[in-house]
């Protein structure tokens, strides 16, 4: 009930339409309640007294009522659909906004397909609860209440006798409802798993084909598909048991009415027409109960999806502004790590007591073996994660004391895996600063050594890059990424192995663009090829989450430590490759 009420809280902006829809639904339901009354009058008055005038009035009344019922039926469906669709849009928007606000740790711990399922499958599952199920609940509820009222008016004793079956029906609905909700939750989980496998395999088509793993992936998908089938069949089994059981209990009630009511007619305590009308109302009760059990089953399934949706909405953002956070003013770029410690998982430290200082405009290289903590330092600076211990300051401002947006506005990142959007070249560069002019976009492209190849594309800057930029080469994608960073004009720059995946010629062109980008900015370079960082102002060598060495290239080579060892290994490897 709390979940359902929370869903309904999204209806508040559309309450007038909902109330009008509920009125239309109630009036449409009243048309069904009029029929048994007509049957009573036809049997007790028209047939027994041969009253043709009353028959004419009844016929006209039926036409008028069902004409009006059609209008109300249209109103209920249109208005409820409008409200339901708007609520679903609002909830989906709230989920998407929440996902944009969540820290990167959320995306590290959840599969992309599962995350997508929250926005697509789970929110869509709420739609039935908000539209058709709500219509059915109001309609059947009105018929149920109206039928009970008419039955009490016709014969209150017979009504009390009929209600003996109600406690059994309510108990069955409660027991089965809980089981259906659990089954519905499992269905949503299985659907999310299918979406996850689908996303992984479709985005990795080349890898799958290169390893000839088509059959393996088909079998993996079939396993998830079968799990989804089994979850749905469990839900279907519960629904298939619930409905006939409720119908059987209702049939027992109708049988009792016929027996007890028939005896009342024989003894003259009730007219035949009234008994027939009472029976029709009793059937009108059994039908709503039967339909309501189906509706409740569907709602329980939708509530399982709601649990998943509200789980996302209720998540605490790991990275958020302090109540008294200030806006970081334009910075010079002085960065200091003060005894920084960090762990992705508790009791598994990745950085330990890391301290260093960088002056404005300096180029700092981060090197070390895989897993040494280089990328972690790059992730801590723009607060993708918060430090476990210690502090990070920029121009003397603790980065946890300033707003996240003002911090990230002054930090630019060029990652190893370039992310481009399925839009034009122009839009992808403009992403760096949305208010930039066309001239500024082109200047950024020229500075990134990208302008010339862009003009050679079929539609120049208006050329669509396709999904993740598949229509251009890796080096071209990287240069567009650099142009985007140049347009942003950050004071602090992070280059995360930006050239490691490129061929020699592409690396040379991209490196020229990077050298131009780093001028006058505090730059952190995570280096794979040590030959690219020999001119860095400072090289920080990391090993097992701690700083092993700090110095220039010449100073570190003279120490014959870890840096010199790594450099010698790469130098010898390069010689062997050339040989």
pLDDT score at 364: 92
State pLDDT tens for residues 540-559: 999 888 999 899 989 888 98
pLDDT score at 474: 78
Higher pLDDT, 182 or 233: 233
Q: Give the HSE-up count for residue 379: Cα atoms under 13 Å, Cβ half-sphere.
A: 19
Is the pLDDT at 375 greater than 60, yes or no? yes
- Pairing relationship of beta strands 389-394 and 397-398 according to DSSP bridges: antiparallel
State pLDDT tens for residues 155-204: 777 777 777 666 776 677 677 777 877 787 788 788 777 877 777 776 66
Answer yes or no: CATH 3.20.20.70 is held by domain 333-410+492-579.
no
Radius of gyration of the chain (CA): 35
Question: Which architecture characterizes domain 11-313 according to CATH?
Answer: Up-down Bundle (1.20)
From the number of C-beta atoms within 10 Å of its C-beta (0-12, 13-18, 19+), residue 198 rates as middle
pLDDT score at 483: 87
Over residues 333-355, mean pLDDT: 90
> Per-residue confidence at 502, pLDDT binned at 50, 70, 90?
low
**Rounded Cα distance, 167 and 41, in Å:** 33
Over residues 136-142, mean pLDDT: 74
> Per-residue confidence at 574, pLDDT binned at 50, 70, 90?
low
Rounded to the nearest angstrom, the gap between the alpha carbon of residue 504 and the centroid of all alpha carbons in its chain is: 41
Over residues 354-368, mean pLDDT: 91
The end-to-end CA distance of the chain, in Å, is: 74
pLDDT score at 33: 72
Range ranked top by mean pLDDT from 71-85, 238-252, 502-516: 71-85
**Rounded Cα distance, 467 and 469, in Å:** 5
How many CB atoms neighbour CB 292 within 10 A? 22
Higher pLDDT, 561 or 256: 561
> Per-residue confidence at 360, pLDDT binned at 50, 70, 90?
very high
For 273-283, letters b (16+ CB in 10 Å) and e give bbbbbbbbbbe
Q: What is the DSSP string of 372-403?
A: SSHHHHHHHTTTSS--SEEEEEETTEEGGGB-
Q: Are 295 and 180 in contact (CB under 8 A)?
A: no
Torsion of CA 461, 464, 468, 474, to 10 degrees: -50
pLDDT score at 576: 57
> Per-residue confidence at 280, pLDDT binned at 50, 70, 90?
confident
> Per-residue confidence at 147, pLDDT binned at 50, 70, 90?
confident
pLDDT score at 369: 85
Is the pLDDT at 334 greater than 90, yes or no? yes
419-489: CATH topology is: Rossmann fold (3.40.50)
Over residues 440-456, mean pLDDT: 88
Q: And the tokens for 293?
A: 């059990």
Q: Are 197 and 208 in contact (CB under 8 A)?
A: no
Domains in the chain: boundaries = 11-313, 333-410+492-579, 419-489
From the number of C-beta atoms within 10 Å of its C-beta (0-12, 13-18, 19+), residue 434 rates as exposed
**Rounded Cα distance, 174 and 191, in Å:** 26
CA nearest neighbour of 495 among 517, 528, 525 = 525
pLDDT score at 303: 75
**Largest Cα–Cα distance in the chain?**
121
CA nearest neighbour of 160 among 265, 253, 258 = 253
Counts of helices then strands in the chain (DSSP H, E) = 22, 10
What mean pLDDT value characterizes the chain?
Answer: 80
Torsion of CA 298, 299, 303, 306, to 10 degrees: 90
Q: What is the DSSP letter of 424?
A: B
Q: Which residue has the tokens 């009234």?
A: 274
Over residues 53-82, mean pLDDT: 81
State pLDDT tens for residues 399-408: 999 998 899 8
Over residues 56-69, mean pLDDT: 79
3-class DSSP string for 214-274: HHHHHHHHHHHHHHHHHHHHHHHHHHHHHHHHHHHHHHHHHHHHHHHHHHHHHCCCCCHHH
Please name every residue paired with 546 in a beta bridge, in sequence order, or none if there are none. Answer: 543
pLDDT score at 289: 67
Range ranked top by mean pLDDT from 101-110, 266-275, 480-489: 480-489
Which SS3 state, helix, strand or coil, does residue 15 take? helix
The kind and range of the H/E element at 449 are none
Torsion of CA 203, 207, 211, 216, to 10 degrees: -20
CA nearest neighbour of 194 among 127, 117, 120 = 117
**Rounded Cα distance, 186 and 308, in Å:** 11
pLDDT score at 373: 87
pLDDT score at 116: 77
User: For the whole model, what pTM was predicted?
Assistant: 0.67
Same fold, 333-410+492-579 and 419-489: yes
Q: And the tokens for 425?
A: 């070249």
pLDDT score at 398: 93
> Per-residue confidence at 238, pLDDT binned at 50, 70, 90?
confident
Higher pLDDT, 305 or 91: 91
Percent of residues, the chain, with pLDDT higher than 90 = 11
Is the pLDDT at 130 greater than 70, yes or no? no
């Amino acid at each position: 009930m709390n979940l359902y009420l929370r869903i309904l809280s999204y209806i508040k902006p559309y309450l007038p339409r909902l109330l009008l829809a509920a009125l239309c639904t109630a009036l449409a339901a009243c048309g069904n309640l009029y029929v048994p009354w007509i049957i009573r009058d036809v049997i007790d008055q028209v047939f027994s007294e041969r009253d043709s005038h009353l028959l004419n009035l009844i016929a006209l009344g039926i036409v008028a009522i069902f004409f009006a019922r059609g209008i109300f039926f249209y109103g209920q469906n249109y208005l409820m659909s409008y409200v339901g669709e708007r609520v679903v849009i609002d909830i989906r928007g709230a989920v998407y906004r929440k996902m944009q606000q969540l820290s990167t740790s959320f995306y590290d711990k959840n599969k992309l397909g599962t995350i997508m399922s929250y926005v697509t499958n789970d929110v869509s599952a709420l739609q039935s609860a908000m539209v058709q199920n709500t219509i059915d609940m109001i309609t059947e509820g009105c018929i149920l209440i109206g039928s009970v009222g008419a039955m009490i008016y016709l014969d209150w004793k017979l009504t009390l006798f009929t209600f003996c079956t109600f406690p059994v029906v309510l108990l069955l609905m409660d027991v089965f409802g809980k089981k259906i909700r659990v089954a519905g939750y499992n269905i949503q989980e299985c659907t999310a798993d299918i979406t996850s496998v689908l996303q992984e395999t479709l985005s990795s088509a080349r890898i799958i084909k290169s390893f000839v793993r088509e059959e393996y992936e088909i079998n993996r998908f079939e396993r998830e598909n079968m799990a989804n089938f089994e979850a749905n069949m469990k839900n279907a089994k519960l629904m298939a048991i619930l409905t006939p059981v409720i119908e059987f209990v209702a049939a027992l009630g109708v049988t009792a009415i016929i027996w007890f009511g028939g005896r009342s007619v024989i003894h003259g305590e009730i007219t035949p027409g009234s008994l027939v009308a009472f029976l029709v109302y009793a059937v009108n009760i059994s039908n709503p109960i039967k339909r309501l059990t189906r509706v409740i089953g569907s709602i329980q399934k939708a509530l399982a999806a709601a649990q998943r949706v509200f789980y996302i909405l209720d998540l605490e953002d790991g990275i958020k502004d302090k109540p008294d956070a200030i806006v970081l003013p334009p910075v010079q770029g002085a960065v200091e790590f003060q005894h920084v410690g960090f762990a992705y998982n508790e009791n598994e430290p990745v950085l330990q007591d890391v301290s260093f200082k960088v002056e404005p405009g300096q180029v700092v290289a981060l090197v070390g073996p895989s897993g040494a903590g280089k990328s972690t330092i790059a992730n801590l600076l723009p607060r993708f994660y918060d430090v476990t211990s210690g502090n990070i300051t920029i121009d003397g401002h603790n980065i946890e004391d300033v707003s996240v947006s003002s911090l990230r506005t002054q930090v630019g990142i060029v990652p190893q895996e370039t992310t481009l959007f399925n839009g034009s070249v122009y839009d992808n560069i403009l992403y760096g600063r949305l208010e930039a002019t066309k001239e500024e976009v082109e200047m950024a492209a020229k500075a990134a050594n990208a302008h010339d190849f862009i003009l050679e594309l079929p539609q120049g800057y208006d050329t669509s890059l396709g999904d993740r930029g598949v229509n251009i080469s890796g080096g071209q994608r990287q240069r567009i990424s650099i142009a985007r960073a140049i347009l942003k004009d950050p004071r602090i720059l992070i280059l995360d192995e930006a050239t490691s995946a490129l061929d020699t010629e592409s690396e040379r062109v991209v490196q020229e663009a990077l050298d131009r980008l780093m001028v006058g900015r505090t730059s952190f370079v995570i280096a794979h090829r040590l030959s690219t960082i020999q001119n860095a102002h400072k090289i920080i060598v990391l090993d097992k989450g701690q700083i092993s060495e700090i110095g220039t290239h010449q100073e570190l080579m003279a120490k014959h430590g870890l840096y010199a060892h790594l450099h010698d290994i790469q130098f010898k490897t390069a010689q062997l490759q050339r040989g």
